[in-house]
Amino acid sequence: MIYRNVKEKIENLLGGFPIVTLTGPRQSGKTTLARAVFENHPYASLEEPDLRQAANEDPRSFLARFPDGAVLDEVQRCPEILSYLQTLVDKDGRMGLFILTGSQQFGLMSGITQSLAGRTAFVELLPFSVPELALADKLPNDIDAMMLTGCYPPIYDRGLAPAAWYSAYVTAYVERDVRQMLKIQDLETFQRFVRLCAGRTGQLLNLSSLATECGITHNTAKSWISVLEASYLVFLLRPHHVSFNKRLVKMPKLYFYDVGLVSWLLGIRTIEQMITHPLRGSIFETFIISELIKSKLNQGEKPAFSFWRDSNGNEVDLLVEQGIRLIPVEIKSGRTLTHEAFAGLHKWSALAGDKAGAPALIFAGDESYQHKGIHVLGWRECGHLPD
C-alpha cells in the first residue's frame, strides 16, 4: 500500500471522536486507507446486497455484530443506519469506534450532519498526491506523462494503462452513479455534457453557454454540475471579492479533481498529443490547483482558495488565504520562464499592499528558486507553498 499522508490525521481524530467519516471520489483509496487504520477491526461493505439488506431490515442487530466498532464502507447506500449509529455511540461512550466511508457528498453529508452532528470528524481523501507518489517512487518523471496518467490509485497499484482504466471508470462509476442520482434517461447527452465540462477545465464557467452547446436547459446544466461536484469529479473556484477599485468577474472557474480523467475525456492518449494539445495550459493549471487542494486536505484543513480577475483581464490564478494575508499564486505551463511571467504577481501585490502574502509562481520546470521576492516552484514541489 502506498502511504497516505492523511493517515496520521485520521488516527489522531479517532482519539477524540467516536466516528471518523472518510469521503472522496470512488476509487480514491478510501477503503484501503480505512482498513489500514482499522486493521484489527471488522469490515463491512454496504455495497454488498445481503449486508445492505440486513442493515436496512434490522439495523440494531446489524450493528450488534460490531461491539468494538468496524469499518462501514459506502454508507450512503444505507443512510437509515446513521440514526442507529448515533444512539449506539452515545450509549457506548468510547472514542474511535467506527470509520465510515462514502463517495457521494449529497446524501451522505446531509444524513450525517442531521444524525451524527458532533459525533464524527470528516476527512476528504482525493487520489494520490505528488508527495505520496514520490515517496513510493512511483511519480512519473515527466510532467506531460503525469498529466496523462493522473493520480487514481488503481493505475499505480495494478499497473494499468491509464486509457483502459479511465474508460472503465467512466462507464462503471461516473455514468452509473451520477445517472442514478439524477435519473438521467439520455446517456448520450450526459456523456457530451461531461466531455464539454472537460473542455472547460481551468476556465470561467458560463452555464448558459454550456447548456446551449449541450442542448439542455440552464437549470439542467446547473443541476448536473452540482452532482458532478457532489461526486468529487469537479469543483468550482470562486472569484475573490476584493476589488482594489476594479470591476471583477463574478463567474466561478471550473476544474476537475484529476487531470488523468480530464485528459481521457478530451481524447488525449499519448504524451505527444499532450505536448501539442491546445488545452495543455488549462490541464496543467487544473493539476496544480488540485495538488494544492490535496495538500490542505491531507493536513486536515479546508482549502480557502479563490482567484482574482478584473474586467480588464488582469488576473491571478489562485489566492490562498493565510491568516489575514492572501498569497497570490501564478501558474505557468511552460518549462522556461520569461520576465513577463512575473508581471501579474508584481501588479497584484502592488494593488493588494498589506494584504499580500509572499507571492509564488509554479511552473512545469524542475527547479525551485527565488526571483525578486517571488518563490518559484517546479511542479514536483507544487504542494509546498511558502508560509
Instruction: Tell me: do 152 and 231 sit in the same domain.
Output: yes
- In a shared domain, residues 149 and 256: yes
Residue 85: count other Cβ atoms within 10 Å of its Cβ. Answer: 23
Roughly what angle, to the nearest 10 degrees, separates helices 30-37 and 7-14?
50
pLDDT digits (tens, 9 = 90+) for 234-286: 999 999 876 665 667 789 999 999 999 999 999 999 999 999 999 999 999 99
Q: How far is CA 362 from the centre of its chain?
A: 19
The answer to whether position 267 is within a domain reads: yes
Q: Is the domain of 222 the same as that of 90?
A: no
134 and 106 share one domain: no
Whether residue 102 lies inside any domain: the answer is yes
Q: What is the pLDDT of residues 164-198, one digit of tens each?
A: 999 999 988 777 777 677 666 677 888 899 999 99
Contacts 24+ apart (CB under 8 A), 351-357: 351/244, 351/246, 352/242, 352/244, 352/326, 352/328, 355/242, 355/324, 355/325, 355/326, 356/325, 356/326, 356/327, 356/328, 357/320, 357/322, 357/325, 357/326, 357/327, 357/328
End residue of a domain, out of 124, 142, 166: 124
The mean pLDDT value for 140-146 works out to 96
Q: Please check whether residues 106 and 175 belong to one and the same domain.
A: no
**DSSP 3-state assignment of 82?**
helix
Domain boundary (90, 124, 158) is at 124
* Distance of alpha carbon 120 from alpha carbon 98, whole angstroms: 9
Domain of 188, CATH number, reads 1.10.10.10
**Longest distance between any two alpha carbons in the chain, whole Å:** 68
- Looking at the structure, do residues 103 and 151 belong to the same domain, yes or no? no
| C-alpha cell at position 214 | 449541450
Identify the domain containing residue 270 by its residue range: 130-276
Instruction: State how far the Cα of 156 lies from the Cα of 161, in Å rounded to an integer.
Output: 9
Residue 88 counted as domain residue: yes
Residue 198: inside a domain, yes or no? yes
Which of 242, 252, 246 has its CA nearest to residue 312? 246
**Where is 142: in which H helix or E strand?**
none
| pLDDT attached to residue 273 | 98
Neighbours of 368 (CB within 10 A): 17
Which CATH number does the domain housing residue 18 bear?
A: 3.40.50.300
Same domain, 139 and 271: yes
Same domain, 85 and 15: yes
Same domain, 137 and 256: yes
Reported as a single tens digit per residue, the pLDDT across 8-31 is 999 999 999 999 999 999 999 999
Return the axis-axis angle of helices 187-198 and 218-230, rounded to nearest 10°. 70
Q: How many CA atoms lie within 13 A of 76 on its CB side?
A: 21
In a domain, 345, yes or no: no
Tell which of 77, 94, 124 closes a domain: 124
Q: Are residues 119 and 203 in the same domain?
A: no
Contact partners, residue 99, CB within 8 Å, separation at least 6: 10, 14, 19, 20, 21, 22, 34, 37, 38, 41, 70, 71, 72
pLDDT exceeds 60 at position 106? no
346-378: per-residue pLDDT in tens? Answer: 888 888 888 888 999 999 999 999 998 899 999
Residues 184 and 79 in one domain: no
- Cross-sheet strand order for the sheet of 120-124: 43-45, 70-73, 98-102, 19-23, 120-124
- Do 287 and 146 contact (CB within 8 A), yes or no? yes
Q: Give how many domains the chain has, as a whole number.
A: 2
What is the rounded average pLDDT for all residues in the chain? Answer: 91
Q: Which of 171, 235, 163 is nearest to 197 (CA)?
A: 235
Q: What is the DSSP string of 296-356?
A: HHHTT----EEEEEBTTS-EEEEEEEETTEEEEEEEE-SSS--GGGGHHHHHHHHHHGGGB
3-class secondary-structure state, position 20? strand
Can you tell me the distance from the alpha carbon of 230 to that of 14, in angstroms, rounded to the nearest whole number?
25
Assign 139 a pLDDT band (cuts: 50, 70, 90): very high
Task: Tell me if 236 is assigned to some domain.
Answer: yes
Q: Are 90 and 83 in contact (CB under 8 A)?
A: no
Q: What angle do CA 343, 317, 222 make, to 5 degrees?
A: 150
Q: Is residue 242 part of a domain?
A: yes
Task: Give domain status of residue 22, yes or no.
Answer: yes
**134 and 120 share a domain?**
no
Strands 98-102 and 120-124: unpaired
The answer, yes or no, to whether residue 102 has pLDDT greater than 90, is: no
